[in-house]
Chains A and B, each alone.
Chain A
Amino acid sequence: MTAAAIASRQRTLDSVVATARRNTWTIGLLGFLALLLAFTKLIQPSYGVAAVQGLGIGVLPLAFAAVAQGVAVIGGGIDLSIGSMMALTSVVTATAMQGQGEEFGVAVVVAVLLLGLALGAVNGALIVITRVPDIVVTLAMSFVWAGVALLVRAAPGGGASHWLMGLATGSFANEWVPKAAVVLVVTVAIIWIPIRGSRLGLSIYAIGSNRPAAFRSGVAVGRTRFLAYALTGLFAAFAGLSLTASTGIGTPVPGPYTLESVAAVVLGGVSLAGGRGGVFGPIVAVVVLQLIATDMTFLNMDSNLALVAQGVILIGVVMFGSLIQLRRARA
């Protein structure tokens, strides 16, 4: 082996190590997920293809919600209106698609994504213009969007295009790969990866990690926050679409997604202080949370106790996370 080859290999190794170090948390979480899958197979030997498909469809809405929350939190904010935006986009989708052709459904999806972008933009504009704290504005807007959802549709119902429902069910290429998982990863990759590498992405991380410093370095703080919330709205719309895709209807009353998305973001290694973490960690966290719920069913665990256990896990993760950060800061 030549010295050059060794050096090049060393460089590759270095970059792998660097990537791994940056994504320590996500890699650890993936390891935990692998353990959890093995544990699941152990307690339920019949756990197989159908169950993995179910897992894929089951995580889709919350995974998109977690990505949406992830973007807001990385930018130093928080969005408590995600569940309501999901309900609104979902009822709009189900109402518009009911009794319409498949092609019309494509137009509906495009319109709903634009709607999500607009909802998020309204949140962002209010936060930037009024200077009221993010948590207050988005909490207030959660009532507004939920109310509008009820105006669109007083009761659950509507319909969904067959292709939309088909996007979430079934497998892709290999029977072990749920189509829902492919849709999720491809969508997030297409939208988030280019943005993360761009000026906007850097600005989002910058304002999240230190807003005054970002401002002094010439980052347009107001515009970046506005765009981050618009992006959150867009991903919330994807989450709303996946609700309709999995159930075939729209439900005006928001599900438990807002707080669960915060939980997934925290478990996914995004710092609630902002500026740290990514959106793939939260996605893995959602899969972990869903699988824990499945295991609790397999173990015949009391559902109320299962809720307690989930809370304990979250607190544990946040505590260990802060501990690690503290030790890092000292090192």
Chain B
Amino acid sequence: MKRNGIVRSLAMLAAIAVVVGACSGAATPSPAASAAAPSAAASVAPSAAPSAAAASPSAAPKQYTIGYSNGGGVGNGFREEQVCTAKAQAKASGSVSNLTVIHRNTDAAGQLSDIRNLIAKGVKAIVFNPNDPAALNPALAEAKAAGIVTVSVDANVTDPSTWNLTNNQVKYAELGAKWLFDQLGGKGTVWYTRGLAGHPADSDRDIGFKNVLKDYPGIKVVPTADGVFTGWDPAKTTQLTNDFIQSGQYDKIQGIWASGMGKQIVDAIKAANKKFVPIVDADIGGFVAQLLDPTNFPGLKGAAVTNTASVGGAGITLALKLLNGETVTASAGAKANTVLLDPVLLDNLTDTGKAGLNSWVSVPGMDLLWPLSLSIEGWTTYDPNTVPASCKGA
């Protein structure tokens, strides 16, 4: 009877194999639903303006398989939207026969093996949002040896043969800080709420914030010169804001600089029945909706700086340009092999600002936690209205 143990285990493991097979069979991509009339598309002007219609030759375009690796932030608005724009752009380009997306929460070591899996799959290009600037280099070198084009989006990597395409985070902070300090007439106390400690985008924003702060000697920063970290965590931000208000510190500030968690901060201020102070944050859906809602948020003065998640889609375009042998020029002032996208700022104080904000919120199906600017001139060719529908499916 005992020998049956082996047989039973094998049968059981075979049953697991069937389960795996069945699950993978179920992963059919859902059809893109949205075919709504394209509405006014928000656009972000890139600093390195490349040729307009990206990679669209008149003849049947060459077909490529592309891999996409995102190693963190599953469920995070920015990361989710970034993956959606990559899928939308792959479809819109007409040059991507297959896009394999690995989108999971992992560390640098895990992303290394994700990239190696994509190499093993034999894709022609790998677009990825890196978990670390240097840790992925071994796999990136293997990709180069295999003749694979690599593009890092949203953050830079040090690998010399990889192209970087990122939002200019220094400028993001500069634009917002300048707007805010000018609102205060160059005098007052500002609550400096940051993102995730040690994250490259957060460090770059800190550089930009401090660049502008130097020119405004009348501005004081609390709780410390280095601000407070929200970790880009909505729940933690709400807690922080509540504590800030309860301790009476909120009553002593004149403005808030935020790094993407503005909605939670504004909600907490409203819940505490406090008067709003001017606030600058990113172009997140929920925050922009608050800026455009004077009924529920009376007296809220604010500005949104674009931090487009469309770097995912733009990364696909950059990879296709490189695969097709087109010349790509690095942005002025950036490191070699680096394209920087410049942010824009819109506030709810001017009519042009309000019109711009309104055009952003017109795309249907956008999540409240997503950045709203969806198009990057020269880098994305999809209809922004198709992005929310592109998220589903492989």
Interface residues of chain A, those whose CB is within 8 Å of chain B, are 17, 20-21, 24-25, 27-29, 31-32, 35-36, 39, 44, 46-47, 50-51, 54-55, 57-58, 61, 154-157, 165, 169, 243, 246-249, 251-253, 255-256, 290, 292-309, 312-313, 316-317, 320, 324, 328, 331
Contact = CB atoms under 8 A, between A and B. Distances in A.
A304 B108 contact: no
Given A28-B13, A324-B5, A249 B116 contact: no
Given A57-B113, A302-B27, A303-B102, A316 B16 contact: yes
A29 to B, nearest CB: 7
Given A27-B6, A31-B10, A297 B102 contact: yes
Contacts of A313: 16, 19-20
B5 A24 contact: yes
Contacts of B203: 155
Kindly list the 8 A-B residue pairs having the minimum CB-CB distance in the complex, ordered from nearest. A155-B198, A28-B9, A58-B113, A54-B116, A255-B107, A247-B135, A32-B13, A51-B120
Contacts of B393: 302
Given A29-B13, A58-B113, A156-B198, A300 B394 contact: yes
A54 B20 contact: no
Given A24-B9, A249-B132, A324-B9, A301 B24 contact: yes
B143 to A, nearest CB: 11
Nearest to A297: B117
Contacts of A306: 23, 104
Given A29-B9, A305-B27, 6 more contacts: A58-B109, A154-B197, A248-B138, A251-B135, A294-B117, A306-B23
Tell me the dominant secondary structure on chain B's binding face: helix
A57 B20 CA distance: 24
Contacts of A28: 6, 9-10, 12-13
Interface string B1-28: 1110110111011111101100110110
Nearest to A252: B198
16 contacts: A24-B9, A28-B13, A29-B9, A32-B16, A243-B107, A247-B109, A247-B132, A248-B134, A248-B135, A255-B106, A256-B110, A301-B394, A303-B74, A303-B103, A305-B26, A328-B5
Nearest to B28: A302
Interface string B73-92: 01000000000000000000
Given A24-B6, A303-B104, A247 B112 contact: yes
Query: B108, B112, B394 — which one has the most chain A CB atoms within 10 A of its CB?
Result: B108
B227 interface: no
